Amino acid sequence: MGRRESLPEVKKYSGVEVRGKNIRIKFVWPKGAGKQQRITLKGMDVNDKNMKYAFNKVQSIKREIDLGVFEWSNHFPDHPLAKTELKANAGYTVADLLDDYLKEYARSRKEGITLDNYTYRAEQHLKPYIGDIPVNDFKTAHVVKWATQLGDKNVSRVTLKSYVAPLRAAFKWARQNGRISNNPFVDFEWPEETRAVKRKQAEKRKQKRLDVFNELEINALVKHCKREQEANIIQFGFWTGLRPEELFALHWEDIDLVSNTVLVNKAKIYRRGFKVIDYEVEEREEIKGVKTGELGEREVLLLPGALQAIQAQRQWTATMRKFVFHNPWWNKSWTNTNQFANRFKECCLSAGVRYRRPYMMRHTYASMMLKHGEDEGWVARQMGHVDTTMIRKVYREFIPDADHVNGYRLKNDWSISGTNN
């Protein structure tokens, strides 16, 4: 009987392991992505000679990866990544990459509105300019040139970043999955904005400054709205501090007239880039959770002004639809902030009140509560903030010097305010 051959010592062959009767090598690909690839070397017996061969192959692959010249097809022509690599070498374009990313990854992992926006930007902005460029030939210089041209047309950097977002995500995804060996966006820097763009941005910031309404203006607005349903949503917005998209998504089941509270747990978002035709809102609406990074779901106390608006709205929608507030022009729920802003502007003109964007209703609510001495912590919770940091940062000019109280009890009799006279 012959002597049994001992198995080779695996420890001395870094990157090589034995699995049953097979030798398997392992290495990290792509470089820096931290994803370990394991490849079984078929048809090789487990012995010292083959283990040494496998070890040398691993070292060769690692050197090529470090130099940026590694190609799957040179080492493992039957591997799925080699086929993807060959496809890229055969004319795999930026347009192809965007299509694969949106189809294989984004469709199952991105929110519907994000997927719609990515698709729209890819089709309308990216493919027409850089879609025909082979992925292997693509450089960020192509994006810089394109961004510079758009910047000369007064397109801001914020807008440009939204245009390029799906492209950056696609290259990152392809790099992590080994479809490409290099992500050109790693060291990417945006070109400097033109003076015209900077002036435009400064003007926008000026328009967004805290420019709240006073109680006389609120009452005048509500009184002079030509349609009662518009008056109701405006009065409710001023006396709850809900964001416009939260007002649009409000359902009657969220209203509790026993405890005088409203549950805020969703927002209605408009799918930008895709038109809503014939105001078929309920078929095309996007309902999602409230703003990320804040308190999320919350209960808001209905002050008398808000209660009055809800009671007045009951006759219009309580038995008709699930949404509380409707656009009276079509008797359907509100679609988006632009649609609402047009009606809000009309009410301002009728009342002789200087127009500010509808979001200022939320700022007005917070400033009004704080100015009259309501507790900062309570106001923060009503607004949906996790703490008072944002309250003190944004509304510090309205916060009086006063001791805070634990728990909460309204300091003012709000029943004398906010009524529709």
The per-residue pLDDT for range 237-293, each reduced to its tens digit, is 999 999 999 999 999 999 999 999 999 998 887 654 443 333 333 345 566 666 644
Q: How far apart are CA 168 and CA 183, in angstroms?
A: 9
Which has more confidence, 176 or 402? 176
The CATH number of the domain where 177 resides is what?
1.10.150.130
Place of tokens 């978002």: 269
For position 274, what pLDDT does the model report? 40
Contacts of 265 (CB under 8 A, 6+ apart): 254, 289, 290, 296, 297, 298
Q: Please check whether residue 86 lies inside any domain of the structure.
A: no
- For residues 336 and 410, membership in a common domain is answered with yes
Spatial CA neighbour of 138 closest among 185, 205, 202:
185
Kindly tell me the sign of the dihedral angle through the C-alpha atoms of 302, 305, 308, 312: negative
Which has more confidence, 407 or 358? 358
Q: For residue range 178-210, what is the model confidence (pLDDT) as tens digits?
A: 777 678 887 778 777 777 777 777 776 665 678
Q: Mean pLDDT for the chain? A: 82
Residue 359: pLDDT band with limits 50, 70, 90: very high
Contacts of 159 (CB under 8 A, 6+ apart): none
- For residues 39 and 150, membership in a common domain is answered with no
- For residues 349 and 371, membership in a common domain is answered with yes
Extract the tokens encoding 72: 């799957």
Which has more confidence, 8 or 227? 227
- For residues 232 and 269, membership in a common domain is answered with yes
- Pairing outcome for strands 286-288 and 267-269: antiparallel
For position 281, what pLDDT does the model report? 37
- For residues 66 and 162, membership in a common domain is answered with no
**Which amino acid is it at 53?**
Y
Q: For residue range 43-95, what is the model confidence (pLDDT) as tens digits?
A: 888 888 899 999 999 999 888 888 777 777 788 888 877 766 655 556 788 99
Q: Please check whether residue 9 lies inside any domain of the structure.
A: no
Q: How many domains does the chain have?
A: 3
Residue 419: pLDDT band with limits 50, 70, 90: low
CA 281 to mean position of chain CA atoms = 22
- For residues 192 and 62, membership in a common domain is answered with no
For position 200, what pLDDT does the model report? 73
Mean predicted confidence (pLDDT) in 298-318? 95
Please give the share of the chain, as a percent, with pLDDT higher than 70.
82
Q: Please check whether residue 2 lies inside any domain of the structure.
A: no
Q: Please check whether residue 155 lies inside any domain of the structure.
A: yes
Q: How far apart are CA 12 and CA 195, in angstroms?
A: 62
The CATH number of the domain where 398 resides is what?
1.10.443.10
- For residues 66 and 149, membership in a common domain is answered with no
| DSSP β-bridge partners for residue 27 | 37
- For residues 157 and 53, membership in a common domain is answered with no
- For residues 129 and 268, membership in a common domain is answered with no
Domain span holding position 40: 16-70
Q: Please check whether residue 274 lies inside any domain of the structure.
A: yes
Contacts of 56 (CB under 8 A, 6+ apart): none
- For residues 376 and 352, membership in a common domain is answered with yes
- For residues 238 and 333, membership in a common domain is answered with yes
Q: Please check whether residue 304 lies inside any domain of the structure.
A: yes
Q: How far apart are CA 296 and CA 272, in angstroms?
A: 23
